[in-house]
Structure 1
């Protein structure tokens, strides 16, 4: 799952928190990241469920991801302005509340058994998730000594990866296990999402009552450079890089269940368990990548991972059985460091434009909407081999960015 480090108009500075314990705030952020990862990756379960339940094409079923990730393109910058006005704590509470409301909307959608209502509910959930990311991510950096900020961020992101790993297992047990009755009813998603909504409301109430450190949301960055925001080559190419990366990551995860069903001829419930390995490998990859990035150049690691992802997809689509399955799952391991590396290379050297650049990079997460829909469209008209060329193109661009596009020459 993509994680935005900061966003437009936001700059953090600790105030009025002398002697205050950071433990409650860190625990609340860990819960927040887990829920963000869990909810986002549960979409991978909804795609095959709705595809069969509403007799959809692959492109139609991918609208689950389209409307969810489109929200990043629409809401990231407005969410940053909202958090600037309300503060981080109220922003997080509001994000939980909006996501919970979206979960509650699954009830009328399931009662009427209407796909469009589910898409509307997911759009509302996504608004809450975007607001949570915008409010929470900068908050981590000031909750303790500055020299351990990276360690705190890595730890909290690891909790988010745990959520992405659990979600497919949860979806397989509670949702896809009832896939046989999905043609007549969507009740299988009703109670899981009502439970999620209730949990989110409880978390919102708890966070609203916690005494958390107060952080300034004003932009205090200064820079003597007179360069415009779009004069930085690494940023311009990096925005496209984030778009391509998120698109590739999401599209592979979105169709992995159906891909494995076709390969192994097993039920969707069983195939969805493999998706947990795909997302779980990203947790392992983050731990390995954190060590490698300390001793190797980030651009070189990025290029190597992009090359490996291309090779693994090529192996998968040209083979069969478990070799094809685990080759595609291995792409998740390659994905682990890509977002953070592209992001850091993109904002390197932009000075006073860092927060504005972060906002633009955040909106590029909408690549998850466009690329997944495009891959679904290709599968409707061609084969899996052709459809998976879409993420290959994305990884080719990331390879270019690692080799050349990140170099900070003036546009």
Structure 2
């Protein structure tokens, strides 16, 4: 999943004194990136499972993920306010405990079972993840030497990708592999008793998740994390009064680029299992398809490492254009091909999606100067675009699942437009000088 930077309401952070050892703290924080990536992608195997248990349409199924991303929009500003009040370490603990409460609520939803309670509890989990992201990303950026901040963020984001790669295997084994709907062939009609039994298969995996989250919360609460400084930014505020975000083309077109890209990424991941399970595609059980989903997320991890190396020699906009063309090409193959060709082309889009979020984000804030914080906040809010995956669910219900991926292809074309023209900075201003405690 995409990394999130601090909201505009978060206090400014400062580099810490030399001589402080940050390795243990960074290792601990990296576990948070792994966990929220892991929990987010469990949804990709949970959705086809819930579709079977509650006999949902594709619209109702994708609404589950929409609720997840609405939480990013709703919880980001309150999260920043909470961090200002209680600090970063306590906020990390609070985020983990909120997620654990949501995981326990998922056990309740499975016991009833209830589609409505499931939606509420997934919103709670996503709100906890939002708090973690708003707190952890800026924290990682300053835990150590300023000149290696980018390296640290890339490291923990790679571990986030590792979590997203392993989660489908976990979900396939403990959710889909232990349910009748997950091991049956496409088109099998389950009895009422079988659907109720399948609902209970969610209890064990979420119980394990809740236990791990509570243990992490206890460890972080007791861990001597380096204290982060808080700054007086009145001078920067005075300078910002004379500037406008809307004068920066790269940001104006970058916000919808993030919004639209998220529709593509989330739509592919959420409908992957249902798509490759179809008889004319790969004819797999949901359990088998869930394992193939790991290849899609693994491709994103590989692409991030490769993309970071390539962009050391080539312009980021040109690299983004190349990747968006590749994504458009494989999506068109997915729409019009059949059999395993269509399945592998859909898997390949993970490789081409890999660099999109961080590259769009970087291009979007380029040249904003003292407006960088506000611009970053707008780009964070745009992550809520993942909620519009429900549009693809509606297309799948009315025009067919395979045809619905034309929406994904259209999203890739907007990213191409942004890479070639929309990302070019206008009215660029120099960034403010950094201040350290």
Structure 1 stretch displaced more, 139-148 or 162-171: 139-148
How far does residue 219 in structure 1 lie from its aligned partner after superposition? Answer: 6.3
Q: Distance in 2 between matches of 1:64 and 1:218?
A: 39
Determine whether 1:248 maps to 2:264.
yes
Match 2:236 to one of 222, 232, 235: 222
Determine whether 1:198 maps to 2:211.
yes
**TM-align CA RMSD:** 1.6
Unaligned runs of 5+ in 2: 182-193, 429-437
Secondary structure of 1:82's match?
A: helix
Q: Render the CA deviation track for 1:277-323: whole Å, top value 9, x for unaligned.
A: 00011110011001011111111111111111000011122212221
Determine whether 1:408 maps to 2:409.
no
Secondary structure of 2:236's match?
A: coil
Q: Distance in 2 between matches of 1:355 and 1:83?
A: 16
Which residue number corresponds to residue 19 of structure 1?
19
Q: Distance in 1 between matches of 2:367 and 2:126?
A: 31
Determine whether 1:389 maps to 2:406.
yes
How far does residue 154 in structure 1 lie from its aligned partner after superposition? Answer: 1.0
Which residue number corresponds to residue 106 of structure 1?
106
Which residue number corresponds to residue 286 of structure 2?
268
Would you say the 8 A contact 1:84–1:217 is kept in 2? no
Secondary structure of 2:177's match?
A: helix
Structure 1 stretch displaced more, 105-114 or 49-58: 105-114
**Structure with the greater relative contact order (CA < 8 A, sep ≥ 6): 1 or 2?**
1
How far does residue 91 in structure 1 lie from its aligned partner after superposition? Answer: 1.4
Q: Distance in 1 between matches of 2:169 and 2:107?
A: 22
**Greater radius of gyration (CA):** 2
TM-score scaled by length of structure 1: 0.96
Q: Render the CA deviation track for 1:1-57: whole Å, top value 9, x for unaligned.
A: 011133212322135x55332122111111100001000101101110000110000
- Cα distance, 1:173–1:217 mapped onto 2, change above 3 Å: farther
Q: Distance in 1 between matches of 2:298 and 2:258?
A: 21
Would you say the 8 A contact 1:257–1:268 is kept in 2? yes
TM-score scaled by length of structure 2: 0.90
Which residue number corresponds to residue 213 of structure 1?
226
Would you say the 8 A contact 2:2–2:357 is kept in 1? yes
Match 1:323 to one of 318, 331, 341: 341
Q: Distance in 1 between matches of 2:335 and 2:310?
A: 29
Q: Distance in 2 between matches of 1:333 and 1:231?
A: 33
Secondary structure of 2:15's match?
A: strand
Unaligned runs of 5+ in 1: none
